[in-house]
């Protein structure tokens, strides 16, 4: 299968390219240097030249706090850029897979969100990603919208790497305990996408590693696993705090947990528990550090 991947140098995009190539697909990786998704004519030209059967649209403006003051750029990438890629996909009759986010919800629900619950994004980032969803739903005839959360992987900066770094520099770390979600390992998400695009079971999906935790619980788990896997012996202590203790320009959802209703009802393999993903990530991180 011919697959075009945008955002190919990002955390998720990098693993999508590697996994899809290993599965025997012909992959065209595109990053911001090789494809400006905000340039309509460029998107049409690149897609019509390659003629993909599937487009995995990982490219996004993800600077959550910066988006609050850089509104135009957030929408130019997440809404207009997505529109450009969808229109191009339609020209060659390609399936379109849009990677979205838990930020399309307001985070006030008492239970995990279903795919078809009402969205109510509170940040510019969340609103711009929801705008991208609407564009996809409106213009694509064969789409998958995949919402995910708390993503981390080997390539790029993320919460796991930040905790490990800060744990070497500070004796005490304060981490919020009143926001909960599901940490998602990019390799596990890429495996899910590989399964999904082989089907014609179009629609909206919630895809994260199964289970839930708070950021505080996630941080503690990172250090617990790192002590065994990475032989990480720094005596860091993780203490809980409230969201209000660390005010940020963009509001964060208090509840980012998402129920995998569509995965179950469509008979697709679910993602494994988040702690299993964390263990594998740390094992790979250890090998990658040795080889660098």
Residues 122-139, mean pLDDT to the nearest whole number: 98
Active site residue 185: no
Residue 246 has pLDDT above 90, yes or no: no
| 175 part of a folded domain | no
pLDDT tens-place string over residues 95-114 = 999 999 999 999 999 999 99
Structural domains of the chain, count: 1
Rounded CA-CA distance 57/75 in Å is: 15
Among candidates 291, 166, 184, 176, which has minimal Cα distance to 223?
A: 166
pLDDT tens-place string over residues 221-240 = 999 999 999 888 888 999 99
- Say if residues 144 and 97 touch (Cβ distance below 8 Å): yes
State pTM to two decimals.
Answer: 0.96
Q: What is the residue range of 41's domain? A: 2-158+182-211+256-273
- Say if residues 47 and 91 touch (Cβ distance below 8 Å): yes
| 234 part of a folded domain | no
Rounded CA-CA distance 177/277 in Å is: 21
| pLDDT of res. 288 | 84
pLDDT tens-place string over residues 205-219 = 999 999 999 999 999
| 192 part of a folded domain | yes
% of the chain surpassing 70 pLDDT: 99
How many CB atoms are located within 10 Å of the residue 138 CB? 10
| pLDDT of res. 279 | 97
| 10 part of a folded domain | yes
| pLDDT of res. 66 | 98
Starting from the edge strand earliest in sequence, which strands make up the sheet with 26-29, in order? 26-29, 2-6, 54-57, 95-101, 143-148, 203-206
Rounded CA-CA distance 167/160 in Å is: 11
pLDDT tens-place string over residues 163-175 = 999 999 999 999 9
| 128 part of a folded domain | yes
- Say if residues 111 and 105 touch (Cβ distance below 8 Å): no
* Marked catalytic residue, from 98, 125, 205, 232: 125
- Say if residues 167 and 236 touch (Cβ distance below 8 Å): yes
- Say if residues 6 and 58 touch (Cβ distance below 8 Å): yes
Residues 14-43, mean pLDDT to the nearest whole number: 97
Residue 199 has pLDDT above 70, yes or no: yes
Rounded CA-CA distance 153/169 in Å is: 22
Burial class for 113, CB neighbours closer than 10 Å (0-12, 13-18, 19+): buried
Rounded CA-CA distance 10/190 in Å is: 12
| pLDDT of res. 231 | 87
DSSP character at residue 117: S
- Say if residues 126 and 104 touch (Cβ distance below 8 Å): yes
| 286 part of a folded domain | no
pLDDT tens-place string over residues 252-292 = 999 999 999 999 999 999 999 999 999 999 999 998 864 43
DSSP string, 220-236: HHHHHHHHHHS------
- Say if residues 209 and 188 touch (Cβ distance below 8 Å): yes
pLDDT tens-place string over residues 35-90 = 999 999 999 999 999 999 999 999 999 999 999 999 999 999 999 999 999 999 99
Per the prediction, the chain carries an average pLDDT of 96
- For position 103, which CATH number holds? 3.40.50.720
């Amino acid at each position: 299968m011919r697959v075009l991947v945008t955002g190919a140098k990002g955390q998720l995009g990098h693993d999508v390219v590697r996994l899809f190539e290993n599965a025997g697909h012909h992959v065209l990786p595109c990053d911001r240097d090789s494809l400006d998704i905000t340039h309509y004519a460029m998107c049409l030209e690149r897609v019509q030249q390659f003629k993909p059967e599937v487009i995995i649209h990982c490219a996004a403006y993800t600077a959550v706090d910066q988006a609050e003051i850089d509104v135009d750029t957030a929408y130019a990438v997440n809404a207009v850029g997505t529109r450009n890629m969808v229109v191009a996909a339609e020209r060659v009759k390609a399936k379109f897979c849009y990677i979205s986010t838990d930020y399309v919800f307001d985070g006030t629900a008492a239970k995990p969100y279903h795919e078809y619950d009402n969205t109510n994004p509170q940040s510019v980032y969340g609103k711009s990603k929801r705008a991208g969803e609407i564009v996809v739903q409106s213009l694509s005839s064969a789409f998958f919208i995949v919402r995910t959360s708390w993503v981390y992987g080997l390539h790029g900066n993320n919460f796991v790497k930040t905790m490990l770094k800060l744990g070497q520099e500070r004796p005490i770390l304060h981490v919020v305990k009143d926001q909960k979600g599901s940490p998602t390992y990019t390799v596990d998400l890429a495996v899910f996408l590989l399964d999904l695009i082989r089907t014609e079971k179009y629609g909206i999906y919630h895809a994260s590693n199964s289970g839930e935790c708070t950021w505080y619980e996630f941080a503690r788990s990172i250090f617990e696993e790192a002590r065994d896997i990475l032989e990480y012996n720094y005596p860091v202590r993780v203490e809980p705090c409230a969201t209000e203790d660390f005010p940020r320009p963009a509001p964060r959802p208090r509840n980012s947990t998402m129920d995998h209703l569509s995965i179950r009802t469509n008979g697709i393999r679910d993602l494994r528990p988040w702690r299993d993903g964390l263990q594998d990530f740390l094992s790979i991180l250890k090998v990658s550090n040795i080889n660098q």
